[in-house]
A and B are shown apart, each in its own frame.
Chain A
Amino acid sequence: MITCKKCGVELPENANYCPLCGEPVRGKESKVIESLNISEHSKKNLEEFKSLTVFQRLKIFWQIVSFILLSAVLITTIIDLFYNNMITWSKYSTSVAVLLFINVSIFVFLNEKILLKHFLSFIALSGFILVLDIFDKSLASATKYVIPLMFIGYIIVLAFFFIAQKIKSEVFKLIAYSLITAGLVNIIIDAIIKVYVTGKISLSWSLIVCVSSFLISLLSFYFNHRIKKVSDLKRFFHL
């Protein structure tokens, strides 16, 4: 008689693992491994990695990314110094690396707080653009519409993913919502650029895009509705 070490139920004589909790049966475990010919070492590493929590795995990912970014910054700076005897173009690659580092850190360490995470990432990106403007005077005017555009972009994409998460399994609904999102993004881009160029809101091309994308999304909603069988409607609307 064999009992499972973890959940305490009695297993059949020839069992290699517990059918209830998946715990391998001691003594038989090693035989299975030998027969599969997996080296102890790699299996151990793999098991160690598997036993980590999501956060611990993310932290490893963060360490690797930080290392790569740091070496990239060092290498580009050294090359720049070597050729030009001063820092010229490498300041751009360095600032991009810093921005990437900030974003990765935010996403790794603020795993749970979705809103805060995106807000901080937005602040970092805006800060980056502002700094670019200060360094490079020819870009100065860009901030006036780039940052509002980015802000709206963040909000709409976030809203879209929020909705998408709720309706995973319904493809046509997903298509419909993404079309609506695209339409809205177009209108906002148009509006912000018009305000920047002419000083007032006057929509032109985006309206056409928006109307057509809305129409197609309506069609998509209808499709989604139709593919459920008629009997579904009956149970859905039972009084």
Chain B
Amino acid sequence: MSLELQENKRFWFPLDNAAKIFPSVLSEEIPVVFRISAVLKEPVKINELQKALLLTEKRFPYYKVSLKKGFFWFYMEYLPKPIPIEVDSRVCRKFSENKILVRVLVKGKSISVEFSHILTDGGGAMEFFKTLIIEYSKMLGAEVPENFEYIKPDSEISEEEYEDAYNAYFKEEIPPILKRSKAFHLPFALNQKPRFRHMSAMISIEQIKAVAKQKNVNITIYLVAIYIYVLQEIFEELPFTSKFKRNKVIRLQVPVNLRGILPSKTMRNFSLFVMPEIDMRLGHYTFEEILKTVYHQISLETDAKLLNKNINRNVRSEKKFYIRAIPLFIKNAVLRMKYYSLGTKQYSGVISNIGLVKLPKDTSDLIDYFYVVNPPPNKMLKINCGIISFEDKLVMTFGSVVKSKEFEEKFRQFLEKEGVDMTIINS
């Protein structure tokens, strides 16, 4: 099959389970596009980057696809064009029809890749980006150790890389999980269209690690707890008449890269969410209490068996014949209606941590820092947060569609109080 993929240039595949909802809600304001950027120490050498991209894209043919409408489902079809390399002008633009769902953006010292979430998640995109950056550094004379693990341009393409891994892990006889209650949402007024803005801030990993270690948790759990704490503060400051106070659960969506838990080589979407929450009806939570409950909830929910239950719930519905046989335009209309009620209504915020980027030494020497921009939040969610670390630099990027900077400011103040400096690097 992998040979077939290389030779038969007219290949296609159905969308994976996580991607199925995205095409129905696509718009300029909800482009479902995320970005990973590397800011180098020197200006990008454009010729070398172009060469590196040509090498890289040959190894990832399953990313050179465009979104097509079928009668029952959307699907992705190979597009025999190079992955575009453009001047970086606006972040997370929607991909137009009949275009490859990846782009490379360059400006000055920064190289970025933007992927449609229909195609893959942060885990898949990161592998592509790593290959691109390492190949670029090799063009500039960097040495890459033989045993350094990354997807080499001349390595064999495995069939597993483009399978729908959710389906591979689907088991018939697992009970479904219960529906969650509605969650609290930020009360801020929206920006003018185009609404999306982002702001990145840098934190020293050494500093934050030390603080998190004092509390006996890892960095992700520590930041998730701060996120919830800040939301609680905003919730408590609202007048009791506010309609935003009606939903009293503060719940975060924290994506988990399943590749680390369930063995799979897939380069398409393969992540799920854990949803730590606090219930405001039970009264005020101290930061320590939040840390404790977040820690336990995340450890519980990342259990492989429970994740299986979630996969099962998501995949189950698309296995049913009577659902599959509904024409696409009806499915679309239903999914569009359900987008908020099944998704965003259930959580107050999103925080995703891509983790630490590991590169060979020579390649690392070229790079200053990385940052990641989550898909622009919709008008109900309003703000989300993406985190990526490289060497000693952790960069948090807040994506926002609201005018107020209150949330970001409170986050910064909290960290400062804990003794962690946050330097704003772009906004």
Contact = CB atoms under 8 A, between A and B. Distances in A.
Interface of B is mostly: mixed
B70 A20 contact: no
B70 A9 contact: no
Interface residues of B, number: 28
Interface residues of A, number: 19
Interface in A3-25: 3-4, 6-12, 18-21
A84 interface: no
B298 to A, nearest CB: 37
Given A19-B50, A235-B68, A237-B70, A9 B12 contact: no
A8 B47 contact: no
Contact of B10 (A18, A19, A231): A231
B366 interface: no
B71 A9 contact: no
A239 interface: yes
Contacts of B82: none
A236 B45 contact: no
Contacts of A19: 46-47, 50
Interface in A169-204: none
A11 B46 contact: yes
Interface string B65-99: 00010111101010000000111100000000000
Contact of A239 (B44, B86, B324): B324
A20 B42 contact: no
A10 B42 contact: yes
B64 to A, nearest CB: 16
Contacts of B44: 9-10
B77 A235 contact: yes
Nearest to A21: B87
B106 interface: yes
B38 to A, nearest CB: 14
Contacts of B10: 231
A239 B108 contact: no
Contacts of B73: 238-239
A89 to B, nearest CB: 54
Interface in A224-239: 231, 235-239
Interface of B: 10, 12, 14, 42-47, 50, 68, 70-73, 75, 77, 85-88, 106-109, 321, 324-325
Interface of A: 3-4, 6-12, 18-21, 231, 235-239
Given A9-B106, A20-B87, A238-B70, 12 more contacts: A8-B107, A9-B45, A9-B46, A10-B44, A11-B46, A19-B47, A231-B10, A235-B68, A236-B70, A236-B71, A237-B72, A239-B321
